Amino acid sequence: MCGSKASKDSKKDRFMFELMSIASKYSENIIFTGYIANEELPVLYQISDIQVVPSRWGEPLGNVVIEGMASGIKQVVTNDGGIPELAKYSDAYVIEKENLQEELNQIITKIVKNKDYKKGKIENRNFQKFSQIEYSKNILKIIKNE
């Protein structure tokens, strides 16, 4: 598990301790990195096959989802906030928050069994819609009232 909920000074909460306890059975496959500096994130994305973003609140945009798209990794995201708007540009699996644990288990099992994560590295290239060039073009369209 990469990152923390806010910054390098964030303390682990009850949720994190619970996750770490559950994951301890799989310590050879699950690593809790804690806070990762922004400049180090691209390396982690490149060595990852699956990005899981189980957002617990209505995240307005979700840069982490855009970053995952840019890296071409398979994504599993929750149907909450602005995340589904981003997910429609990729081949992400969108799951409901109501049965989060069950849905995560089912979808991650499916992805691993079908080796679907390998396909994601090649085909998930819609991230270019979020490039600086496209962003600038959209701003210019707005300014020109097009």
Q: Which residues contact 1 (CB under 8 A, 6 or more apart)?
A: 19, 23, 30, 31, 32, 33
pLDDT of 118: 72
Q: Hey, which residues does 76 pair with through a beta bridge?
A: 52, 93
- Among residues 67, 76, 73, which one has the least CA distance to residue 95? 76
- The confidence score (pLDDT) of residue 101 equals 86
- From first to last of its 146 residues, the chain has per-residue pLDDT tens of 676 655 555 666 777 788 888 888 887 777 788 788 888 888 888 888 888 888 877 788 888 888 888 888 889 999 888 888 888 777 789 998 888 889 988 998 898 888 877 765 545 456 666 677 877 888 888 898 86
- Least Cα distance to 121 among 37, 32, 51 occurs for 51
The domains of the chain are located at 1-36, 48-143
pLDDT in tens, 76-93: 999 888 888 888 777 789
pTM of the model: 0.71
The string of pLDDT tens digits covering residues 59-77 is 888 888 888 888 888 899 9
CA distance 71 to 44: 10
